[in-house]
Structure 1
Amino acid sequence: MKRALIPFAMIAIIGILTMIVISSVGMNQEQAIESEEEGGGEEQTASANPEEMFQNSCASCHGGDLSGGVGPNLQGIGDRLSVDEIVSVIENGKGQMPAGLYTGEEAQQVAEWLVEQ
């Protein structure tokens, strides 16, 4: 009878130790989140790389080389549209392009980068 209890006791001990480890990891993450909420975390600035922003949000439709795909070709877009017009399209969308991918300073940075391409 004692031999039958040993495997159950081992499983119980392993389970308890696992719960303790997971709880301590969770507490550390909770403290990190609280410090970020209090302003102790890193702040993202509007000085992000516009090419990187394009690659993250726009290239899937407009192509990594601006040649188009699902969305229109953006090569030479600066010859067809002004920076303000491009900002308007980025912020408000057009056709099947969704609105609000970037707003404000970020939209301005991406538009200026597109005009230079």
Structure 2
Amino acid sequence: MNKRFAALTATLLIAGTLAACGQKEEVQPTTPAESTPAPTAPAASPGATPGTTQGEGGSQTAQAEALYKAQCIACHGTDLGGGIGPNLQKAGSRLSEADVKNILLNGKGGMPAFKGTLSDADIQALSAWLAAKK
């Protein structure tokens, strides 16, 4: 009985992980009273990594990290170390930003395409963030 339960649990865990890969996270709309104006992002300094800004973590970096957590973590791991999908810790050392963007838009292997799921700004932020991982 315990072996059957363990096998069933493992099967459900794998199925849930695969189902979560590529799903869009739903965001609850806010009312005007709840919303606050978005702060303007500071300009990138000359030594900044392309696609990021200096200041409080950089708005594109924060955006990319949030997207990664919502869309990619199930397959690529909490530390970008891989799992179902490949290791992304040094993705920028083997892929250009254009390569990463192409993979995000069109998918590759078992990875789904995010062309209709993520906005152009989201794709750009995530591409720049991953390409900076050297």
Q: Please indicate the TM-score interval, normalised by the length of the shorter structure.
A: 0.5 to 0.7
Identify the residue that residue 69 of structure 1 maps to in structure 2: 83
For the pair 1:88 / 2:102, whether they are aligned, the reply is yes
Q: C-alpha separation between the residues in 2 aligned to 1:61 and 1:76?
A: 16
Higher helix share: 1
**Divergent runs of 4+, >6 A:** none
Name which of 105, 113, 117 aligns with 2:129: 113
- 1:64 Cα deviation from its structure 2 partner: 1.1
Q: How does 1:1-117 map to 2 (within 5 A)?
A: 49-100=63-114, 101-117=117-133
Task: Provide, for residues 96-115 of structure 1, a one-character-per-residue CA deviation record: whole Å limited to 9, x for no partner.
Answer: 10112434121110011112
- 2:132 is matched by which residue type in structure 1? E
Higher Cα Rg, which structure: 1
- For the aligned residue pairs, the C-alpha RMSD in angstroms reads 2.7
- 1:57 is matched by which residue type in structure 2? Q
Task: Provide, for residues 41-73 of structure 1, a one-character-per-residue CA deviation record: whole Å limited to 9, x for no partner.
Answer: 96xx9x671101101100110011000000000
Which blocks of at least 5 consecutive residues in structure 1 are unaligned?
1-32
Identify the residue that residue 41 of structure 2 maps to in structure 1: none
- TM-score for both structures, normalised by structure 2: 0.51
Q: C-alpha separation between the residues in 2 aligned to 1:84 and 1:108?
A: 9
